[in-house]
Structure 1
Amino acid sequence: MARLLRFYAPVVIGTEILVVGLCLMGVSANWAAGGIGNPDFGSPQLIGMSFLVLAFILVVTKYFSGYLRNIAVLLGIVFGMAVATSMGAVDFSSVHNAAWFGLVLPFHFGMPKFDFWAIAAMSIVMLVTFIEATGMFVAVGEMVGKPVDEKAMVNGFREYARSSPNGPRP
């Protein structure tokens, strides 16, 4: 993918990042309102909690530096969980009723199945993810005043794949 960097015009990268952001905006709005299927969906309490967490993250980002600023979203999640727990909006009953230990059975859901169309769809999704990551690297490089060359791009993709929750592990 790094060798293809010269073929990505800024308008392609910018458009792809914009489209991904617009697609995620609906998901974010649904989560802020409490999640689809929630009987209290859109209640002022849930939307207020969402804005309170957002304000907390923005304050941490604005007034703190270094490590704390880098983990502002994580701190926001912890803060939001504390607020929701104190308001009685979190139900831990399933955690209390869960077994301490369990047995993981291989192939619990059956043998793996390989479907051509599923593989084709995931290949397209991975291509879009590569383009998005490329755009992110280029945008961050421009923000910090360090142009991204092929070597930096390769290193970025390696780290992206290594640290991604669903990415390959070394």
Structure 2
Amino acid sequence: AKQRLGEGRAPLGFGQLVCVQSHEQHQRVVNYLKSTGRPAIVIAENGMCSGGRIVSYLKAMLGDRRHEVVFVGYQAKGTPGAVIQASEGAEGFVRVDLDGEFYEINAKVVRLAEYSAHADQGDLVRFATSGVSPAAKIILVHGEARAKKALADVLTQSSHREGLCCEVIIAQ
């Protein structure tokens, strides 16, 4: 991508690229892909597969062995994304609940963890405890309970070590 940008070319600038702008266009694309089985790369948001346009694509395509679902980020326990991701390499009857209805997972599932955009614990601690005005209060709202507790402990210890007064709260 950097090379293409350096050459004055857009990394996603190719003739077959379709940017979906409206709900109606989204529905047409989903229906087209479902009815034709044509190969496509769908880049859709909502990392946990719990809402948004990704759910329509999954409903239409998960049951078809010709498709692949590629995850590039973390999937929280209890989410449809985690269920789908856990089916990676599974053989046999695996289903996921999408909007209250169960769908068979026949598509190939792949996880590419190295592309996750989340900062690690060290990056988060440095961000919160450094800079012109370090955080005085941090509320942890995202992640699993155990991971939030561990991060809260490290943030508290680090801020004390740096001589800072930082209140760390874990949201329920």
Tell me the TM-score normalized by structure 2. 0.20
Larger strand proportion, structure 1 or 2? 2
Of structures 1 and 2, the one with the larger relative CO (CA 8 A, separation 6+) is 1
Bigger helix fraction: 1
TM-score (normalised: structure 1): 0.20
